[in-house]
Amino acid sequence: MSEARNEIFETIDEQHADRSAATRRQLVAGAGATLGALGLMGIPSAAMATHRPGHMGPNTPENILNIAATAEVLATIVNTVGPEKLNLDATTKANIQAAAREELIHYDVLTSQGIGAKAVTKRIWVPDAVFASREALLGTLVVGDQVFVNAYLIGVTVFGRSGGNAGGRLARIAAEFMGVELVHRALALQSLGLLGNDRVFAKFGQKEEVQGLPTTGQPGFYEITEAVTILEGAGFGFGKQGSAAGAFYEFDEVRQRTPDPAGVNTRTPS
């Protein structure tokens, strides 16, 4: 029996400790049947790394919040500058400009006094290739937004595990952000002429199935620092020159011209 499956069954047993042994065995058996039907019996123990108390590794709340804030810096820059440099159709331009404002608001919420995240840097090296064409920009957004979805799902797991009202609130906010990143990804796919609503579940550890992306066939990640590794591998640089030809963009300068469409609503988390 795998470590991951053991933990699931042990959790069920603990949560129903007040019930008879026979009842607990029935619950565990039912969970096993459900996991088997869903094809989850063989999930690797690494997939549970962010779920197990005492095995946090780099997935500390502080690391997750700071990396998320830094990612929102990058996203604000790319979504602001992209429509400035490229001739986009009206719908695509409007969607990307709205995303720019939404990423900026995410950054402001994360770095607010109530949450306390701090971006690792606000000076981002962006590869020239990102702004080379409409397709390049949209492809970058599809990949980047999936990275953000994965990162916020780690946040949901870790914050939810921390318990209490504060942990629950952070988990909910991370889920709210994750949902918005999914929308951004879907709209970028649609502008590429692909199916936007292609996910039954928000992708976490599963392999990327969309064809033609730099990440096609690659699995998701379970450690928050992998988000940085993936983005650096794509040529971005955080406070330093990236591996691809490009230029530095200063967040504090770019945010001054980030679009603020009137149609962007629900501007505060619950």
- What percent of the chain has a predicted confidence (pLDDT) above 70? 79
What average pLDDT is seen over the chain? Answer: 87
Please count the residues of the chain: 270
Closest CA to 24 of 10, 38, 6: 10
Closest CA to 242 of 132, 130, 138, 139: 130
Coil vs helix vs strand at 239: coil
- Output the CA–CA distances (angstroms, integers) from residue 63 to 70, 77, 152, 242, in the order listed: 11, 21, 12, 21
pLDDT in tens, 177-191: 999 999 999 999 999
Select the more confidently predicted residue: 11 or 78: 78
Tokens of 212: 């033609």
Residue 3 has a pLDDT of 40
* Contact status, residue 236 vs residue 227, Cβ threshold 8 Å: no
Residue 43 has a pLDDT of 37
Q: Per DSSP, what are the bridge partners of residue 219?
A: 207
Range name among 33-37, 64-68, 175-179, 263-267 with the lowest pLDDT average: 33-37
Report residue 88 CA to chain centroid gap. 25
Residue 8 has a pLDDT of 47
Angle between helices 134-162 and 225-233 (to 10 degrees): 170
- Output the CA–CA distances (angstroms, integers) from residue 193 to 91, 144, 199, in the order listed: 13, 18, 16
Closest CA to 146 of 65, 77, 231, 86: 231
- What percent of the chain has a predicted confidence (pLDDT) above 90? 77
Closest CA to 142 of 101, 186, 98: 186
Model confidence at 270, in pLDDT bands (50, 70, 90)? confident
Beta strand pairing status for 123-127 and 246-250? antiparallel
Residue 203 has a pLDDT of 97
pLDDT at 175 over 90: yes
The full set of domain ranges for the chain reads 3-48, 61-257
**Total-model pTM:** 0.80
pLDDT in tens, 24-53: 556 545 545 444 444 444 433 333 344 444
Model confidence at 163, in pLDDT bands (50, 70, 90)? confident
Residue 57 has a pLDDT of 86
Tokens of 143: 């990949």
Select the more confidently predicted residue: 16 or 264: 264
Looking at domain 61-257, its CATH architecture is Up-down Bundle (1.20)
Contacts of 132 (CB under 8 A, 6+ apart): none
Q: Read out DSSP for 170-195?
A: HHHHHHHHHHHHHHHHHHHHHHTTS-
- CA-to-CA distance for 269 and 264, rounded, in angstroms? 14
Contacts 24+ apart (CB under 8 A), 87-96: 87/134, 88/134, 89/191, 91/191, 92/134, 92/138, 92/187, 92/191, 94/261, 95/184, 95/187, 95/188, 95/191, 96/137, 96/141, 96/188
Tokens of 128: 């020239």
Residue 7 has a pLDDT of 45
